[in-house]
Amino acid sequence: MATVLQKPQAVGLGKLGSPPHAHKFEHIDVRPITPHTGAEVRGVSLGSLTPEQIEEIKIAFHQHLVLVFRDQDITQEQHKDFGRNFGSLHIHPSFSHLGKKGDPELFVIDTTQESRFSNGEAWHSDVSCDPVPPLASLLYVKDAPPNGGGDTCFANMYEAFHALSEPLQQMLYPLSAVHDGRKDLDNYNFQLKPGQSYPRAEHPIVTKHPETGHAVLYVNGSFTSHIVGMSRTESDAILNLLYQHLEQNPRWQCRVSYEPNTLTMWDNRCAQHHAVWDYYPHSRYAERVTVQCPAGPDAFAS
């Protein structure tokens, strides 16, 4: 199925509000990765941030959606403390629903040559099956593959939505879709045991970012199971079109590579990501802290 054609004059956050890079930073060094998605932040130590640096990191976060901090030697508690600047910490359902052991505020991603899969190896928004999905994720890669593999790709879902034709946008505004965690578990061949459950929630297909006010395309192939009120044939046709649209155009994507001690954070409300497992037989070890959102996604009023 072909990707929806775009009208260039309708695309770009500059059309929606303030230019994405208008702020002049005084306490941090922000270097964009692409014009609309991703930036590297230099000149900071995440273990000893000043209040001024924290405020400017928040501004950069809303402008760029994905922030990369390199050469960060931080402890697990410092990692969590940095996340708490954005809100309380989210507990992954593998802890709250499946009884996973360990620190519930720290999600470990340890991929080795013995691993049967690698977490996040498909486009998704983290735990979108939760009634209140996370606000942000902060991935700290401590052990990166020596061959340069293990990148993360990110997609700007503001841009993906505004590249759709107006008739398709108008059709999507009133629709909702179900995000079912069991669909994601199936990707890992994980079967729930008797008495176990996993989150399942209904969210608008076009959401309104609570802080920027911009429209967001909010469906993903890992968790979204179907559109409410449609037949399976209709739902699959529309969702597959949207998945191909958001996944295949590099214009609203960026790619982050890692060295040891790189922390990348992203806005889970308006950015999707895909972890690339291209480094077998090498290993990649990371720890993720996730920030809880105060409320679930609201529909965008056209």
* Annotated active-site residue in 126, 130, 180, 184: 126
* Annotated active-site residue in 64, 245, 269, 288: 288
Identify the bridge partners of residue 30 per DSSP, sorted by sequence position.
Answer: 41
For residues 60 and 21, the answer to whether their CB atoms sit within 8 Å is no
Surface-to-core class of residue 233, CB atoms within 10 Å of its CB (0-12 exposed, 13-18 middle, 19+ buried): exposed
Radius of gyration of the chain (CA): 19
Separation CA 300–CA 120 (nearest Å): 27
* Annotated active-site residue in 36, 64, 79, 124: 124
Which two three-digit tokens encode residue 101?
Answer: 């052991």
Separation CA 290–CA 86 (nearest Å): 10
Give the 3-state secondary structure of residue 198: coil
Distances (CA, A) of 92 to 115, 127, 133, 186, 268: 20, 8, 10, 17, 14
Catalytic (active site) residue 124: yes
Burial of 113-133, coded b for 16+ CB within 10 Å and e otherwise, reads eeeeebebbbbbbbbbbbeeb
Separation CA 153–CA 3 (nearest Å): 19
Catalytic (active site) residue 288: yes
Burial of 89-109, coded b for 16+ CB within 10 Å and e otherwise, reads bbbbbbbeeeeeeeeebbbeb
Catalytic (active site) residue 245: no
Polymer length in residues for the chain: 302
Catalytic site positions: 124, 126, 273, 288
